[in-house]
Structure 1
Amino acid sequence: MFKSCEGSPPSELAPESRNIVIPSILHPSIHQADGPPRQQAHNTQPITATMTINLLPRLSARCALKTISKTTCAAAPLTTTPTRSFFSAPPYPPTNRDMPSHPPRAAMPMPFVTETVGGGWHTYDIFSRLLKERIICLNGEVDETISASIVAQLLFLEADAPQKPISLYINSPGGMVTAGLAIYDTMTYIRSPVSTICMGQAASMGSLLLCGGAEGQRYTLPHSRIMIHQVSGGYQGQASDIAIHAKEILRVREQLNEIYLRHLTKKHTMEEIQKYMERDYFMSAKEALEFGIVDKILERREQVGEGR
């Protein structure tokens, strides 16, 4: 999706105005629908090659050129670089729309908390303040950046108080397997017990992290959704390299199945796990409890204990 040009907000554009427009200042010879080619060297009003209707009034030549180039780019197929990890989630399909369907939205400002310390005061961003309470938030896709941040927070909290529990709140659609396994391995590596709480969703790698919390301390809020499935990805290259990567992705699939099998409270065979994970398998909070991914459904904070 492309940004709209200055002076022409998306709300002014009718659906039929998505056609490519060619300003006459860039193309002096324009074929009109009602006559032969004629010169319009100084007319900057955009017109189409087959219609005399003015589709985009007050559109500058520079802005129209952006529309043409971006439309041409959108039509080209998108490819992924072979060197990228094939464990990441597949990209969203490309769009041929050259204008956004809604006005651009500013990023949500970061909330800050100010506390009085002694005779002065100290300001924290909201996530740093939660970290003081040994609370970590995993929001959004799991990638290298998010993974590095959460691993560092886990290690810091363990060094600060090895025996105190850590709460990991999860609202994630999943992401890269390697990045998620880095978080999972750190959770099991440190001495501090890590309780996991799902709010919103825990899908794909998010569900594995939810399942990998400390025994008896894996929770979900009542309207959360949990989804498990097998690993997916792709690779392109010569046949021998494709065979190598196909073998590796099958090995990783077996590894993830073993992790689920190890942490599920309900007894499942490996064949049952493979059957459930063959396709996307969505669960409500109650179904996730029955499946064995979580230990309890929370409706109020008092049900967790220890002030969590």
Structure 2
Amino acid sequence: MADKEKEEGLLQEVTERNIEHSLLKSRKIFLWSQVDDDSARAVVTRLLSLDAEDSETEIVLYINSPGGSVSDGLAIYDAMQAIGSPVSTVCTGLAASMGAVLLAGGAKGRRFTWPHARIMIHQPLIMGTITGRATDLDIHAREMLKTREEINRLLASHTGQDIEKLAKDTDRDFYMSPKEAKEYGLIDDIVTTIS
């Protein structure tokens, strides 16, 4: 019984790798997790690899992410902006926090959501515990404010919203339906079919 279960597990793993390889060959990348070192490395290396093969053909980045590390998210964002290939973004479930920044950072006219997706923007969060002297905590607080301003500038450049409105909207979790995200300028359209 254990051998059969092991064999089925290996078969499933091989099948999943084959599917992922097939999708990558068709220039489709998935961010289906929290934004962290591992997911950023996977997405950035795939973006760079596909762009090296062909810098004119579209790459599609499917996003279903609660967000995560700002620095790792900005690594993905910067790669998206730096490569020659246009990057289309599609929110398939949730694009929250850095996931929403990545969604908005897709090529103009190529930013989409599926009909029942949710999008959420907010100010950056400190994850974990920060300890130290008062002066060190002050340094961290000032850096967080700079990061918040930078994220708001990026969102403003992609949405057309002014910085003051973004600062107000991102003060707390700000959820949007696909229709609201389109009106806000985070996406360009809502897709119901895949071609």
- Shared fold per TM-score greater than 0.5: yes
Give, in whole Å, the separation in 2 of the partners of 1:150 and 1:175: 14
Which residue of 151, 170, 183 maps to 1:290? 183
Structure 1 segment 271-290 matched on structure 2, within 5 A: 271-290=164-183
Give, in whole Å, the separation in 2 of the partners of 1:128 and 1:245: 41
Which residue of 159, 177, 195 maps to 2:88? 195
What's the secondary structure of 1:110's corresponding residue? helix
Q: Which residue of 2 aligns with 1:221?
A: 114
User: Is the CA contact 1:175–1:204 (under 8 Å) kept in the aligned structure 2?
Assistant: yes
Q: Which residue of 1 aligns with 2:123?
A: 230
Q: Which residue of 2 aligns with 1:253?
A: 148
**Paired letter, 2:76:** I
Q: Which residue of 1 aligns with 2:41?
A: 148
Give, in whole Å, the separation in 1 of the partners of 2:105 and 2:186: 9
What's the secondary structure of 1:129's corresponding residue? helix
| Max Rg structure | 1
Is the aligned partner of 1:127 residue 2:20?
Answer: yes
Structure 1 segment 14-163 matched on structure 2, within 5 A: 109-110=12-13, 112=15, 124-163=17-56
More helix by share: 2
**Paired letter, 1:112:** T
**Paired letter, 2:56:** Q
Give, in whole Å, the separation in 1 of the partners of 2:161 and 2:43: 30
Give, in whole Å, the separation in 1 of the partners of 2:53 and 2:162: 39
User: Is the CA contact 2:23–2:29 (under 8 Å) kept in the aligned structure 1?
Assistant: yes
Shift of 1:140: 1.1
Is the aligned partner of 1:165 residue 2:88?
Answer: no
Change (3 A) 1:281 1:111: farther
Shift of 1:183: 0.1
Shift of 1:112: 1.2
Shift of 1:268: 2.1
User: Is the CA contact 2:116–2:177 (under 8 Å) kept in the aligned structure 1?
Assistant: yes
User: Is the CA contact 2:93–2:118 (under 8 Å) kept in the aligned structure 1?
Assistant: yes
- Count of matched residue pairs: 183
Deviations 1:227-278 (A, max 9, x none): 00000115211111111111111111000000000001xx322111100000
User: Is the CA contact 2:161–2:185 (under 8 Å) kept in the aligned structure 1?
Assistant: no
Shift of 1:176: 0.2
User: Is the CA contact 1:207–1:227 (under 8 Å) kept in the aligned structure 2?
Assistant: yes
TM-score using structure 2 length: 0.90
Give, in whole Å, the separation in 1 of the partners of 2:120 and 2:77: 17
Any stretches of 5+ residues in structure 2 without a counterpart? Answer: 1-8
**Paired letter, 2:47:** L
**Paired letter, 1:169:** Y
User: Is the CA contact 1:154–1:187 (under 8 Å) kept in the aligned structure 2?
Assistant: yes
Between the two structures, name the one with larger relative contact order (CA 8 Å, sep ≥ 6). Answer: 2
TM-score using structure 1 length: 0.58
Is the aligned partner of 1:180 residue 2:73?
Answer: yes
CA RMSD for the aligned pairs? 1.4
Deviations 1:1-58 (A, max 9, x none): xxxxxxxxxxxxxxxxxxxxxxxxxxxxxxxxxxxxxxxxxxxxxxxxxxxxxxxxxx
Runs of 4+ in 1 over 2 A off after TM superposition: none
Give, in whole Å, the separation in 2 of the partners of 1:180 and 1:127: 22
